[in-house]
Amino acid sequence: MLTAVLTMLDLQDKMNTKVHPNWREQGYEWYRAAWIECAELMDHAGYKWWKHAEPDIEQIQLEVVDIWHFGMSALLVGSDDTRALADEIAGDLSAAPNSGLSLLEASEALASACITSGSFSTPAFLNLMQASDLSFDQLYRMYVGKNVLNFFRQDHGYKDGSYVKVWDGREDNEHLSDILSQLDAGEAGFAETVYKGLEAAYPG
């Protein structure tokens, strides 16, 4: 797990650096983005008792992964030792969750922790993972895939509008899902292999 956590932290740092070379000094409110994503997750889960809704588990899990992007960013800003941070995260996420919280309760608990601390709580995030039936292996696979896709988009004209998001009648994230399903996330160079897979499939 430690290697996977280090990989995700490195990828997040690289993505943030691509957006702004000195992102750590910009005072971005990562915790705010995280708790707002918690609210979006609750919308997909269906909190409106006055309106029928079926929870969309796939979208819920995607929101959890989005929360993780912001959570890692908040934690990276508050740490000057990435290895020590990775050790702490791995320890927190390998603990046995036993909160028994529902999906909505776990979302609120994480949002509350973000607002109260101005940062991010990995124990609260673990409870949210459990409530959304998202394993660490799934988190890693989905996070790396989304991160690599974001890099791929940036490298292929996303900013200037020349990037083609739909090819062969399907969106790029659907092609990404196909690529991820064929790969072993535990293999070394997983992120690089995903990028190469996108390059091979992309018509541009």
pTM for the predicted model, two decimal places: 0.83
**pLDDT tens per residue, range 62-88:** 889 999 999 999 999 989 899 999 999
Task: Locate the domains of the chain by residue range.
Answer: 2-134, 138-201
Residue 107: band (very low, low, confident or very high) from pLDDT cuts 50, 70, 90: very high
The torsion of the CA quartet 6, 122, 134, 15, rounded to 10 degrees, works out to -40
The CATH code for residues 2-134 is 1.10.4010.10
Residue 96 has pLDDT above 80, yes or no: no
Percentage of the chain lying above the pLDDT 70 cut = 99
**Per-residue confidence (pLDDT) for residue 134, from 0 to 100:** 92
Residue 165: band (very low, low, confident or very high) from pLDDT cuts 50, 70, 90: confident
Residue 90: band (very low, low, confident or very high) from pLDDT cuts 50, 70, 90: very high
Q: Which of 23-32, 123-132, 184-193 has the lowest mean pLDDT?
A: 184-193
Q: What is the CA radius of gyration of the chain?
A: 17
Residue 121 has pLDDT above 90, yes or no: yes
**Per-residue confidence (pLDDT) for residue 110, from 0 to 100:** 95
